[in-house]
Chains A and B, each alone.
Chain A
Amino acid sequence: MTVSALSRGLWLIFIVAVIIFLTLPIALVILFSFNHSALTSFPLTGFTLDWYARLFANDSFWPALWNSTIIAVAVAVLSVATGVFAALALARMPIGRAGVLMSMLASPMMLPALSCGSSACRSVFTPLFSAIS
Chain B
Amino acid sequence: MNMRSWALGLLPAGLVWVGLFVAPLAYFFAIGFWSVKARIMRPDFTIRNYIATFTDYGDVLASTLMIGLIIAIATTIVAYAFAYAIRFRTGRWGNALLLITLITLFGGYLVKIYAWKSILGRDGIINNALIGMGLINEPLTIFIYSAGGVVVTLTYFLLPFAVLPIYGSLRAIPDDLIEAARDLGASPFAAARDIVLPLCERGIAVAFLLTFLISVGDYVTPRFVGGGAAMMGHFIETQFSFGFNWPMGSAMSFTLMAVSLLIFIVIRKLLERAVRP
Majority secondary structure, A binding face: helix
Give CA–CA (A120, B260) in the complex, Å. 21
Chain B residue with minimal CB distance to A133? B109
Of the candidates A14, A19, A29, A81, the one whose C-beta lies within 8 Å of that of B114 is A29
Of the candidates B12, B20, B21, B160, the one whose C-beta lies within 8 Å of that of A85 is B12
B13 touching A83 by the CB < 8 A rule?
yes
> Considering only CB atoms and an 8 Å cut-off, how many residues of chain A contact the other chain?
51
Majority secondary structure, B binding face: helix
B104 at interface, CB cutoff 8 A: yes
By a CB distance below 8 angstroms, the chain B residues around A32 are: 118
Whole-angstrom distance from the CB of A111 to the nearest CB of chain B? 6
B28 at interface, CB cutoff 8 A: yes
Whole-angstrom distance from the CB of A12 to the nearest CB of chain B? 9
By a CB distance below 8 angstroms, the chain B residues around A26 are: 104, 107, 111-112, 115
A114 touching B257 by the CB < 8 A rule?
yes
Give CA–CA (A114, B125) in the complex, Å. 32
> Considering only CB atoms and an 8 Å cut-off, how many residues of chain B contact the other chain?
73
Within B1-16, the residues touching A (CB, 8 Å) are 3, 6-14, 16
- Produce 1/0 per residue, A13-25, CB < 8 A to B: 0110011011101
By a CB distance below 8 angstroms, the chain A residues around B82 are: 14-15, 18
> Contacts A104-B17, A110-B209, A117-B249 known; A86 to B10 CB distance under 8 Å?
yes
Chain A residue with minimal CB distance to B233? A117
B54 at interface, CB cutoff 8 A: no
Give CA–CA (A108, B159) in the complex, Å. 19
A29 touching B111 by the CB < 8 A rule?
yes
A114 touching B256 by the CB < 8 A rule?
yes
By a CB distance below 8 angstroms, the chain B residues around A124 are: 20, 24
Chain A residue with minimal CB distance to B116? A25
B10 touching A117 by the CB < 8 A rule?
no
Within B126-173, the residues touching A (CB, 8 Å) are 128-129, 132, 156, 159-160
B240 touching A119 by the CB < 8 A rule?
yes
Q: Which of B55-63, B178-186, B212-220, B266-274 contacts A (4 or more CB under 8 A)?
A: B212-220
B237 touching A117 by the CB < 8 A rule?
yes
The 5 A-B residue pairs with the shortest CB-CB distance in the complex, in nearest-first order: A114-B217, A89-B9, A40-B118, A25-B115, A120-B24
Additional A-B contacts beyond A114-B260, A115-B217, A133-B107 (13; CB < 8 A): A26-B111, A26-B112, A26-B115, A32-B118, A41-B123, A82-B13, A85-B11, A108-B20, A110-B210, A110-B214, A112-B214, A114-B257, A117-B233
